[in-house]
With several copies, the nearest count.
Chain A
Amino acid sequence: MFERRLALESIHTLSGRCFVLRYRCPDIAAASLPGHFVMISAGDAIDPLLRRPMAIYRIVREAGAAVGFTLLVERTGRGTTLMARARAGDMADVLGPLGRPFRLPATDVLDDEEDLLVMGGVGAAPFPLLAEVLVGRGARVRAFVGGRSREDLRCLDDFAQLDVPVHVATDDGSAGHCGFVTGALEAHLQRAAGRPRIYSCGPTPMMRAVDELAARHGCDHQVSLEAPMGCGIGVCLSCVVPVDRGDAWIYQRICREGPVFDAATLGWR
């Protein structure tokens, strides 16, 4: 965990209210694993006061060494609107990497099953890095990318670049399967053999629907959760989610015990 004041290297605007911020910071970059996030300030003033949690999107490498990272941000409210206005050179306070990343399959079981990454909207942010790491280990990765409409689909270029096959679904049918991304996932699960490992991130209804499929097909399923976060490091207890402990449930901190959880422990089933 590093607390750094960083100058924005570049900002790159995408379709559908999204943009990519790039920072140079070898410390944070080298320590970041897929599913990690940072807390980043959205301005220097007291409004907005709190930093915003953002997943590590990609790691920037130079000569093989991790020297920076990018964030994939959707403009939704006050803070992200300010962030969208940032210009190269603007300073931000960044604390990271934070949280518990995705649990990766042991290298010797990688070949047995597929790894399916299921994402909705900007929930896609952590998946290109996860795909990169999995592919690097020789896994068979497949992405299911959902969005309201064509311009809400994220990371298609990243997956193409990594040679990861992509199944697309849009609510309005403007690209790919018309309907929810779970439809595409279900079709694949029915077609495919075995019990692929599933990772999902997106709107809660989407993740719950994915989990229903995962449960039905006996798949391991990790989800990356969101909640309003005060601190991102576990001290404010604002980001809790009830987690099953067999006999009882307890509140766990999404920022510390998560953001990645085993879906089976969330009492959704």
Chain B
Amino acid sequence: MSDPEGRADLAVKVGDVELSNPMLLASGTVGYGEEMAELIDLNRLGGIVVKGLSLEPERGNEPQRIVEVSGGMLNSIGLQNVGADAFVQDKLPFLEQFDLKVIANVWGRTVEEYVGVARRMDAADGVHALELNVSCPNIKEGGISFGTDPVQIHAVTAAARAATEKPLWVKLAPGVTDIGVMARAAEEAGADALSVANTIRGMAVDVGRRRPLLATIYGGLSGPVMFPIALYLLYEVSLVSSLPLIGIGGVSELDHVLQYLTVGATAVQIGTANFYDPTASQRLVDELARWCCDEEIPTVREVIGSLQVGEL
């Protein structure tokens, strides 16, 4: 039971994935969980989405890889990771000790690479679901990001769908004209849930040196500044998709969690807050339980999608 006093019912289901509570750790912000386990009790969380996995190990981008900006940060880590096989062999056993769901974040530079990782995750017992990170350039299609083209989202989702029986989540990219179109493409290709959203492109310049602060010129914006933008994107997606949704972006206070749930998220992911407030996820579980009790809400599931719009 997530509620320390055992009173609140925080359990939610993202499709077939049963979570003890809606709090997940976001991909790329907690590695493979080892370091976080020194600080928080992973058993207390709904789940962990591990750092994006590719077929082969990746070194990632050249430093400087992050810049702090007002209320957020830019990153261009470049998806450095140990690779799918090493993850299964060296990292997954650690996570299997805990009572939380393990979601593998999957990426590739071609559809085939996505499929390769998906197959390996399908075969790995401790993995409960896959989350496709479609914010990657497709090198076979001139480097256009999978996530900005409904045809490509459909293709990569359908291919991954064929490669795994496990629940398949698709993590949408925010920088598109109509995220609803992308959501529908993923849904039609067989996604079981949609994660909204990945980071937003941003830039910062060192004026003294007349150079970008990130080695890759621009990077992905995350943190509190993202919250109202991602909440709106989730709302947009909720209007066109009947899939379970996962709210991602800027979560650092209970009010953020509740806003996501109210607009229609079944769960949320906590990313950048893990850096500047490393016990935030666990505290939010407690706060959510207490809020449910104080508001006399028997189950947090009542909050999901409870938004009322239009005239009173």
Binds A, one of B31-39, B120-128, B147-155: B31-39
Selected contact of A230 from candidates B35, B36, B66, CB within 8 Å: B66
Would you call B68 and A251 a contact (CB within 8 A)? no
Residues of B contacting A: mostly: loop
Q: Which residues of B contact A250 (CB under 8 A)?
A: 59
Per-position 1/0 for B225-265, Cβ under 8 A of A: 10000000000000000000000000010000000000000
Q: Is B274 an interface residue (CB 8 A)?
A: yes
Which residues 52-68 in B have Cβ within 8 Å of A in the complex? 59-60, 63-68
Closest to B225 in A: A46
Please, how many angstroms separate the alpha-carbon atoms of A34 and B156 in the complex? 50
Please, how many angstroms separate the alpha-carbon atoms of A234 and B39 in the complex? 12
Question: Which of B77, B223, B276 has most chain A Cβ within 10 Å?
Answer: B276
Please, how many angstroms separate the alpha-carbon atoms of A180 and B192 in the complex? 54
Would you call A51 and B35 a contact (CB within 8 A)? no
Selected contact of B73 from candidates A3, A50, A95, A251, CB within 8 Å: A50
Would you call A251 and B60 a contact (CB within 8 A)? yes
Would you call A49 and B60 a contact (CB within 8 A)? no
Binds B, one of A13-21, A166-174, A188-196, A236-244: A236-244
Which residues 78-110 in B have Cβ within 8 Å of A in the complex? 80
Would you call B275 and A231 a contact (CB within 8 A)? yes
- Nearest Cβ on chain A to B301's Cβ, whole angstroms: 29
- Nearest Cβ on chain B to A144's Cβ, whole angstroms: 28
Per-position 1/0 for B16-51, Cβ under 8 A of A: 000000000000111100011011000000000001
Selected contact of B80 from candidates A230, A231, A240, A256, CB within 8 Å: A240
Per-position 1/0 for B267-282, Cβ under 8 A of A: 0000010111111000
Would you call A236 and B66 a contact (CB within 8 A)? yes
Q: Is A62 an interface residue (CB 8 A)?
A: no
Q: Is A235 an interface residue (CB 8 A)?
A: yes
* Interface size band for B: 35 or more
Q: Which residues of A contact B279 (CB under 8 A)?
A: 3
Question: Which of A46, A93, A230 has most chain B Cβ within 10 Å?
Answer: A230
Q: Which residues of A contact B223 (CB under 8 A)?
A: 46, 49
Would you call B277 and A93 a contact (CB within 8 A)? yes
- A41 touching B276 in the complex, CB below 8 Å, given contacts A230-B66, A240-B63: yes
Q: Which residues of B contact A48 (CB under 8 A)?
A: 68
Would you call B67 and A228 a contact (CB within 8 A)? yes
Q: Which residues of B contact A247 (CB under 8 A)?
A: none
Would you call A228 and B70 a contact (CB within 8 A)? no
Q: Which residues of A contact B202 (CB under 8 A)?
A: none
Q: Is B72 an interface residue (CB 8 A)?
A: yes
Closest to A230 in B: B275
Selected contact of A49 from candidates B30, B65, B72, CB within 8 Å: B72
Question: Which of B51, B68, B73 has most chain A Cβ within 10 Å?
Answer: B68
Q: Which residues of A contact B29 (CB under 8 A)?
A: 231, 235-236
Which residues 67-104 in A have Cβ within 8 Å of B in the complex? 93, 95
Q: Is B143 an interface residue (CB 8 A)?
A: no
Selected contact of B276 from candidates A49, A238, A239, A256, CB within 8 Å: A49
- Nearest Cβ on chain A to B309's Cβ, whole angstroms: 19
Q: Which residues of B contact A65 (CB under 8 A)?
A: none
Which residues 43-70 in A have Cβ within 8 Å of B in the complex? 46-51
Please, how many angstroms separate the alpha-carbon atoms of A241 and B63 in the complex? 8
Would you call A238 and B77 a contact (CB within 8 A)? yes
Binding site for A on B (CB under 8 A): 28-31, 35-36, 38-39, 51, 59-60, 63-68, 70-73, 75, 77, 80, 223-225, 252, 272, 274-279
* Further pairs besides A228-B65, A231-B274: 6, Cβ < 8 Å: A49-B223, A49-B276, A233-B38, A236-B29, A237-B28, A240-B63
Binding site for B on A (CB under 8 A): 1, 3, 41, 46-51, 93, 95, 227-228, 230-231, 233-241, 250-251, 256
Which 4 pairs from chain A and chain B are nearest by CB?
Answer: A238-B66, A231-B275, A235-B31, A46-B71
